[in-house]
Amino acid sequence: MNVNTENVSYPRKFKTFNNPERFIEGWYWVIPSRKLRVGEVKPVTILGRELVIYRGQDRRAVIFDAYCPHMGAHLAEGKVEGNELRCFFHHWQYDSEGFCVHIPCLDEPLPVKAKAWPTAEKYGMIWVWTGETPQQPLPFIPELEIDDCESTFGARFITKCHPNVVMINAIDAQHFNTVHKMLSEFNFEKQELNENAITFSNTTQDSPDSFLIKLIRPFYKNPVTYSLCYWYGSTGMVTVGPEFLHFYIMFTLRLIEGGKAEGQAIFITKKRPSIFGRIYNRFLLWLTKILAQYFIKNDSKIFDTIQFNLKTPIQADQSITQFINHLERQKPLKWGTWNLERYPRSDELSRDGETRDIDKRETRDKWHDELVND
Ligand code: FES
Ligand SMILES: [Fe+2]
């Protein structure tokens, strides 16, 4: 490996990557769809913000801020009536956009509104967009973008490190050999799908000794696909397998208190018609689960103890630095409030050391970006 010694003592500070106070505006998983029946309302805390989620008669999942705009009662104590939610305390009623539509002691409701958040369902999961209007689609696997899918869930998990750090594991080329003993070279090509999504696709031919090749050698001799699609720096979709049979694994994470992460693995396949298609899909999703376990075996040790600090990036870490640069260009929000986080422009700062620090960082970032050919 070719260590770039000039870079050894480079004290790079990331604004958003691995920051326990920040996350990217985007779609985040809330609860599995099957855990919210029609007429149910539940409290949820997502990225530090307290919310309520309910499902009306129209089967739509709706998410509001947790506390009633009248006097602050928790709306999860309330009741779903039709497509609306009625507060337990004084029975003010809110429609699915959050507008107050009924106050029992008044002839007319007041123009007040519970804060509602964009909500959607996909892959058996309910998702929330953490801004006013969704700017991007729900996370999808590029080659399944237009397909109807079936999915099953793996275990829900907690890691002691930040979601961004968990994400880069899947494109950490060196660790495939050292941790997973894959004995295979990885060389990723990146492609930005949009402001919030980036793919990394392996371009190398597998060595004859790799685990996957061994597994499928009796059936197939061509290179195996291994690609990642990342959304909002917190959801990673793995596509793996020979050309005739791709497996899809999603790891979707949210930042929790203390810079830790809570995540969910979801195994996905294309919907297939008929009873045979459904049986085949059960089998495929079971196989996908086995494959996912193989991928994450031994990684938990790393996630439990790592103090991430990429002090010495080398050529083999290029995909990681590309992921970080992609993340740093996205819109950061503050954990807990979901307010926009922004670094002041240098012309907004006083003429003290802070200005010089900002300028210095910009120059260094530029230099670093060039170094990794991003
Ligand atoms: S606090 Fe909800 S109606 Fe009064
Ligand atoms: Fe790994």
Measured from the Cα of 73, ligand 1's closest atom is 1
270-306 burial by CB neighbour count: b if 16+ within 10 A, else e? beeeeeeeeeebeebbeebbebbeebbeebeebbeeb
Mean pLDDT, the chain, rounded, equals 86
Q: Which residue has the tokens 């029946």?
A: 37
Distance 86 CA to ligand 1 centre (A): 9
Q: What's the farthest any 2 CA atoms get from each other in the chain?
A: 77
Question: Rounded to whole angstroms, how far apart are CA atoms 231 and 216?
Answer: 30
Q: Is the CB of 106 under 6 A from ligand 1?
A: no
| Residue of 85, 87, 105 to test ligand 1 pocket, by largest number of atoms within 8 Å of CB | 87
Amino acid at 355: T
Please, are residues 63 and 119 in contact by the beta-carbon 8 Å criterion?
A: yes
Question: Rounded to whole angstroms, how far apart are CA atoms 101 and 117?
Answer: 18
Give the per-residue pLDDT at 244. Answer: 83
224: its two tokens: 């195996």
Q: Which of 102, 129, 156 is the last residue of a domain?
A: 129
- Confidence label for 225 from pLDDT (cuts 50, 70 and 90): confident
Please report, for the domain that includes residue 102, its CATH number: 2.102.10.10
Q: Is the CB of 68 under 6 A from ligand 1?
A: yes
Does residue 354 form part of some domain?
A: no
| Residue of 52, 65, 71 to test ligand 1 pocket, by largest number of atoms within 8 Å of CB | 71
119-149 burial by CB neighbour count: b if 16+ within 10 A, else e? bbbbbebbbbbbbeebebebbbbeebeeeeb
- Confidence label for 179 from pLDDT (cuts 50, 70 and 90): confident
| Residue of 89, 94, 106, 113 to test ligand 1 pocket, by largest number of atoms within 8 Å of CB | 89
Q: Is the CB of 358 under 6 A from ligand 1?
A: no
Amino acid at 319: S
- Residue 297 shares a structural domain with residue 215: yes
- Residue 208 shares a structural domain with residue 75: no
- Residue 202 shares a structural domain with residue 294: yes
Q: What percent of the chain has pLDDT over 90?
A: 69
Please report, for the domain that includes residue 156, its CATH number: 3.90.380.10
Measured from the Cα of 71, ligand 1's closest atom is 1
- Residue 230 shares a structural domain with residue 121: no
Give the per-residue pLDDT at 220. Answer: 58
pLDDT in tens, 307-354: 999 888 898 999 999 999 999 999 999 999 999 987 545 444 443 333
Amino acid at 17: F
8: its two tokens: 């050894």
- Residue 212 shares a structural domain with residue 94: no
Does residue 339 form part of some domain?
A: no
Our count of domains for the chain comes to 2
Question: Rounded to whole angstroms, how far apart are CA atoms 364 and 328?
Answer: 14
- Residue 318 shares a structural domain with residue 170: yes
Q: Is the CB of 100 under 6 A from ligand 1?
A: no
pLDDT in tens, 95-105: 999 999 999 99
Strands 22-24 and 27-32: unpaired
175: its two tokens: 């660790």
179: its two tokens: 């941790």
Q: Is the CB of 92 under 6 A from ligand 1?
A: yes
Does residue 364 form part of some domain?
A: no
Q: Which of 107, 129, 151 is the last residue of a domain?
A: 129
- Residue 287 shares a structural domain with residue 208: yes
Query: Whose CA is closest to 253, among 369, 170, 309?
Result: 170
Which pTM was predicted? 0.86
Give the per-residue pLDDT at 237. Answer: 96
Question: Ion ligand 2 — residues with CB under 5 Å?
Answer: 169, 299
Give the per-residue pLDDT at 143. Answer: 93
* H/E stretch holding 365: helix 353-371
Does residue 302 form part of some domain?
A: yes
Q: Cα dist. 83→93, 112, 335 in Å?
A: 10, 18, 30
Question: Rounded to whole angstroms, how far apart are CA atoms 10 and 367?
Answer: 11
- Residue 123 shares a structural domain with residue 161: no
Does residue 361 form part of some domain?
A: no
- Residue 196 shares a structural domain with residue 69: no
| Residue located nearest, by CA, to atom 4 of ligand 1 | 90
Does residue 269 form part of some domain?
A: yes
Give the per-residue pLDDT at 1. Answer: 40
- More reliable by pLDDT, 67 or 354: 67
87: containing domain: 23-129
Does residue 200 form part of some domain?
A: yes
Please, are residues 76 and 55 in contact by the beta-carbon 8 Å criterion?
A: no
Query: Whose CA is closest to 325, among 355, 262, 263, 367?
Result: 367
Q: Which of 129, 160, 184 is the last residue of a domain?
A: 129
Does residue 11 form part of some domain?
A: no
- Residue 43 shares a structural domain with residue 121: yes
Ligand nearest to the CA of 86: 1
- Residue 148 shares a structural domain with residue 249: yes
Q: What contacts 24+ positions apart, CB below 8 Å, involve 335-343?
A: 335/20, 335/21, 335/22, 335/23, 335/47, 335/48, 335/255, 336/47, 336/48, 336/49, 337/48, 337/49, 338/47, 338/49, 338/130, 338/131, 340/25, 341/16, 341/21, 341/22, 343/15
Angle, helices 353-371/318-328, rounded to nearest 10 degrees? 140
- Residue 151 shares a structural domain with residue 284: yes
